[in-house]
Structure 1
Amino acid sequence: MSASRPRRRLRLCFVGWGAIASRVGELLAERQPAGVEIVAVAVRDPEIGRPSMPTGARLITRPNELAGLDIDMVIEVAGRPAVAIWGEAALRHAASFVVSSVSAFTDESMLGLLLAVADEAGSRIVVPSGALGDLGALAAASVLPIDEVRHTIVKPPLAWQGTRAAEMIDLDRLARRTEFFAGTARQAADAFPQNANVAVISALSGIGLDRTRVVLVADPAAVRNIHEVSAIGAFGKLDLRLENEALKTNPKSSEMTALSLVRLIENAVAPLVR
């Protein structure tokens, strides 16, 4: 009889505890996947009250505090600047660094540095599927040549408030569906890091940041955040459409963003990966 293997465990550190992280924490508390424990949360200001914080989680404020915590996975959900601040330490002190703010990867020099650190430390950078749910088909298709990928993001005007879209169109008086940006995934994610962050995911899954075409749309008739991804190549043709409910606490983000992180975490300890 073969010896049994140790039970899988996953000690997590979240970088940031805003709308997405607190929703993930809420779902994990409900579902209680075996072996998963949130042992630390990295924040900028530990004095701010966070009623939804996981019981027993240690608050940390500096990357060097990751040392000695025996972390398996660091999950960034704090916005683009946090990737540069926490990335190297996360890759040196944990097996995986999950990057939600993938718009940070429009900076090629930073991405190159993090890849070099991951290679040296034997760790991995993980890009979750985010608001797109899963792009496994596009990633598989990229084994063969892909001719083109187009990603259209449609959101209600409210979701574009506080972004450059407000300088380009009148969001308060918009009467019909209006396309206000067309360019590469790199350009879209750089100009709209909160709303078009997800364009980097489709780009990394397929033909890259500079060949993936992105269109951004504000539509007063839209009640959900909509993503339409199409691709043509040697594999055939792909058309994907998702209509995501927005997070109740942040209309710029989709509920699916939190759900994809829950799936990623549960798959890391599950006996059946799906």
Structure 2
Amino acid sequence: MAGRSRRPLRVAIIGWGAISRRVVALLSGAQDIAIIAIGVRSLPRAQDVPAGAALITDPGELAGLELDLVVEAAGREAVALWGEVALRAAPAFAIASASALTDTALLERLLATAEASRSQLILPPGALAGIDALAAASALPLDEVLHSIVKPPGAWRGTPAEEMVALDELRGPVTFFSGSAREAASRFPQNANVAVISALAGIGLDRTRIELVADPDAAANCHRLSVDGAFGRLRLMIENRPLADNPKSSDMAALSLVRAIRNRIAPLAR
């Protein structure tokens, strides 16, 4: 008996910046994944899009594309602009710009739309490791979650860090911010986007503590998680290679989206 064939996973990607380009490059040649559309703000600025992918600028254009998944990697504003439409147009909407979810009203609207549409809002772990363990541990009471983000001074340029510390004069690591995940992600949406991921996996945006560190000796973007609770203790560190075209982010952020896409169709989801 002939084996059953399955149509390729039909994916729309919102954004065509460094992360989206990296995701598409990593998926190049996959016969079971089809990039159906790329959502952008400006058509003239979108270059070298995948062959066969439609360029769209209006969220309403997602309807009728018979999508299986919409993936956002366009910045926090795009989550509000595209999110509810994406959840109605596809069974799942995966977001990279987790800092958008510091807006409680937006998060509630997205969850309500997902429930009404029988869709799912997916928050990949991004540049982090151990989020599965943190989420599992949160089934029992957690006492403390501390997430430290350590990056080279250059990665903090163009952010409020420039007003808080002399980045060009550092001789050692400096913690220039300590506060809640909500505040960190709101003030540093590109660099501390992942603060929302650790927060929503554990004890929430207001109880999760975030430290932001500029270290002239750091050769990578580093995340350290320290978790204590009824489950026990978790101590974890990951050092990520910066994304070649965007040092504020990590290659792992793109790899995490690739995993989320592949897991929608993989015989073994991992």
RMSD: 1.4
5 Å-filtered alignment, 1:1-274, equals 7=6, 9-29=8-28, 32-51=29-48, 53-274=49-270
Give me the whole-angstrom Cα distance separating, in 2, the residues matched to 1:5 and 1:235.
44
Tell me, which stretches of 5 or more residues in structure 1 are unaligned? none
Quote the offset at 1:47 in angstroms: 1.1
Structure 1 residues 146 and 17: CA distance shift in structure 2, 3 A: same
Quote the offset at 1:172 in angstroms: 1.6
Contact 2:140/2:231 (8 A) holds in 1: yes
Amino acid across the alignment from 1:122: R
What per-residue deviation string (whole Å, max 9, x for no partner) do you get for residues 139-188 of structure 1?
Answer: 11111111110000000000000000001111122221100000010010
Quote the offset at 1:5 in angstroms: 6.0
Give me the whole-angstrom Cα distance separating, in 1, the residues matched to 2:127 and 2:74.
16
Contact 1:8/1:269 (8 A) holds in 2: no
Contact 1:33/1:266 (8 A) holds in 2: no
Give me the whole-angstrom Cα distance separating, in 2, the residues matched to 1:161 and 1:264.
30
Give me the whole-angstrom Cα distance separating, in 2, the residues matched to 1:268 and 1:134.
21
Contact 2:16/2:46 (8 A) holds in 1: no
Contact 2:40/2:46 (8 A) holds in 1: no
Give me the whole-angstrom Cα distance separating, in 1, the residues matched to 2:30 and 2:131.
24
Q: Percent identity?
A: 57
Give me the whole-angstrom Cα distance separating, in 1, the residues matched to 2:151 and 2:129.
17
Quote the offset at 1:133 in angstroms: 3.8
Amino acid across the alignment from 2:65: L
Structure 1 residues 133 and 37: CA distance shift in structure 2, 3 A: farther
Tell me, which stretches of 5 or more residues in structure 2 are unaligned? none
Off by >2 Å, runs of 4+ in structure 1: 3-9
Give me the whole-angstrom Cα distance separating, in 1, the residues matched to 2:4 and 2:129.
31
Give me the whole-angstrom Cα distance separating, in 1, the residues matched to 2:123 and 2:160.
25
Give me the whole-angstrom Cα distance separating, in 2, the residues matched to 1:71 and 1:134.
30
Give me the whole-angstrom Cα distance separating, in 1, the residues matched to 2:91 and 2:21.
23
Amino acid across the alignment from 1:36: I
Quote the offset at 1:90 in angstroms: 0.3
Give me the whole-angstrom Cα distance separating, in 1, the residues matched to 2:164 and 2:256.
32
